[in-house]
Amino acid sequence: MFTLKSKIKITHFVAVLSVLNFLFFHFPFFKFVFNNLDYKSFSGITIIISLVILMLVLNAFVFYLFFSLSRYVGKFLLALFFIINSISVYFINTYGVILDESMIGNVLNTKYEESSSFISFKFFVYLIFFGIIPSIYIVKAQIVTVPWKKFLKTISLTLVFLLTIIFANASNWLWIDKNSKTLGGLAMPWSYTVNISLFYIHDFKKNEKEIILPNATIKDNQKSVVVLVIGESARSQNFSLYGYNKNTNPLLSKIPNVVHFNATSCATYTTAGVKGIVSHSDSGDLYEILPNYLFRNNVEVVWRSNNWGEPPIHIKNFQDREFLSKNCQGEGCNYDEVLLSGLKEQIQSSTKNKVLIVLHTSTSHGPSYSKKYPPQFEKFKPVCNSVELGNCSQAELINAYDNTIVYTDYILSKIIGDLKELKEYHSSMIFVSDHGESLGEKNLYMHGLPLSIAPKEQYEIPFIVWTSDGSKKLKPIKTVSQYHVFHSVLNFLNLQSPIYDEEKNIFK
């Protein structure tokens, strides 16, 4: 047994740390492996044994490199790894997330007030026992290094051994490659270290100067306004408009001219979902997004946000929660109703005939669903009040989530009510969610899984449209995408553009 006072050889030390890292943090990794291959077959057994060996040897190898090059840097990095590993595994075990590049983007773009809602007693148990206590041992350990010749010999033999294991599994490369994104998102500490690097590399490329779209021309002087409401984590299957057996849309269901379409999101996380809603195509390039494009082409554009994760927005009127709260009164100002404060008056005060208002909500974002709506909207009871969603019954969890949909229904009905009073305007309200949400189905919670393996709950979204009397009617189509928003807004405001795509327009 090694104590803090006894000296320990570097090879023994990294072996102990590799084993601890394996035991503490790789249950989710091997749970996925066992669930996705035939572990009773010869090839399945071979993959499992090989992955165990690779995990132990590769981690020990990298830890050995750290400590051989610099004992102090090695201690700092490994202590940091164990602390971050403990936090990461808490989220993986509690919410079923995978730390791929997209999830890392979510983490890095999450504000403190949102991230604090994920903290629970279990979080501190993970942090203390799997993170802080091992880190104390790492910092206090007295490590005996080896001469450079022995170091080089150990490195060379380990590399040969690792390459042998890898090539011995050549017949299993196809399975590993197929599942590489998920496996890489569950392997600690490489899931977040590699994917943080990839995120910043790709983010740098994305934030290069956006590609300007061809100029648009406004074709008439008719006063027209579109209110685009970007929903957060709303899944269509919990809207009674889509056939849900609980009445979560008591108000919208009674309003004439409300139409809903079947739709899917282009991603399962906010930053990509919002970008998809305001982009003209799924090109992957950084083209000018809808608010920037319309603002540059003489349309009044206002973006109001009670959320985060928007792509770079270059307009005059970007209004966040802090700005909107100054002139907002009432209990609703603590929720998404803050986005409606003075909305009708702002539209009426515009000196331009064409207006786009974007409202970026946060209503259905977990895990604290029960805190996302005023108490009077708690229609379905009992509700889940814990951030550890697995501790609630699924009925309680779904009740809390359904109440956020009831509140969304109320907000959308209020927007429509305001637009109806603008008699001189042709008006439309478009509601589309950034992505869906898992509520315990298949033991998954919230969102953010890679789209290729995500369940339908995370990408089947509502796409609800209302139009005022006398304005444009809707096409009799059933299925749309987030990319329909861009072209439909151009059509409703009657802007002519070379990049307009009639097939992605919902209006006649």
pLDDT at position 17 over 50: yes
Is residue 258 predicted with pLDDT exceeding 90?
yes
Query: In the structure encoding, which two tokens stand for residue 205, read together?
Result: 């490329």
Give the model's confidence band at 1: pLDDT under 50 very low, under 70 low, under 90 confident, else very high: very low
Highest-pLDDT range among 6-10, 149-153, 312-316, 430-434? 430-434
Q: What letter would DSSP give residue 229?
A: E
**Token digits for 443?**
């033991």
CA distances from 303 to 157, 223, 307, 385 (A): 59, 19, 11, 31
| Residue showing tokens 């090109």 | 283
Q: Which of 101-115, 136-150, 181-195, 308-322 has the lowest mean pLDDT?
A: 101-115
pLDDT at site 207: 59
Q: Does this model's pTM top 0.85?
A: no
**Exposed/middle/buried for residue 1 (C-beta within 10 Å: 0-12, 13-18, 19+):** exposed
Mean pLDDT of the chain: 88
State the pLDDT at residue 446: 83
Q: Is residue 427 classed as helix, strand or coil in its secondary structure?
A: strand
Which residues have a Cβ under 8 Å from the Cβ of 5 and sit 6 or more positions away? 142
pLDDT surpassing 90 at residue 443: no
DSSP3 helix / strand / coil % (the chain, rounded to 5): 50, 15, 35
pLDDT (0 to 100) of residue 68 = 78
* Better pLDDT: 3 or 441: 441
pLDDT at 219: 95
pLDDT above 90 (res 99): no
Domain ranges of the chain: 7-205, 223-504
For 27-147, where are the alpha helices, taking DSSP H only?
A: 27-35, 42-69, 71-95, 101-109, 112-115, 121-126, 133-140
The pLDDT value given to residue 62: 87
Per the structure block, which two tokens stand in for 391?
């501790």
pLDDT in tens, 169-194: 665 665 776 677 788 888 888 888 88
Residues 21 and 13: beta-carbon distance below 8 Å: no
Least confident of 129-133, 191-195, 210-214, 285-289: 191-195
Nearest to 466 by CA among 433, 507, 496: 507
d(CA 184, CA 98): 9
As given in the structure block, the two tokens for residue 221 are: 């002087």
Residues 168 and 176: their CA atoms lie apart, in Å, by 13
What is the pLDDT, as a whole number, of residue 491?
97
CA dihedral of residues 290, 291, 294, 299 (deg, nearest 10): 150
pLDDT at 3 > cutoff 60: no
Tens digits of per-residue pLDDT, 276-328?
A: 999 999 987 789 999 999 999 999 999 999 998 888 899 999 999 888 988 88
* Structure-model confidence comparison of residues 244 and 51, the more confident one: 244
> Residue 180's pLDDT is what?
75
Q: Which of 28-32, 95-99, 256-260, 394-398 has the lowest mean pLDDT?
A: 95-99
For residue 8, list its beta bridge partners. 143
CA distances from 172 to 37, 53, 81, 190 (A): 11, 15, 29, 21
Q: Which residue has the tokens 């299957």?
A: 237
Please give the CATH topology (third level) of the domain spanning 223-504.
Answer: Alkaline Phosphatase, subunit A (3.40.720)
Share of the chain above pLDDT 90, in %: 50
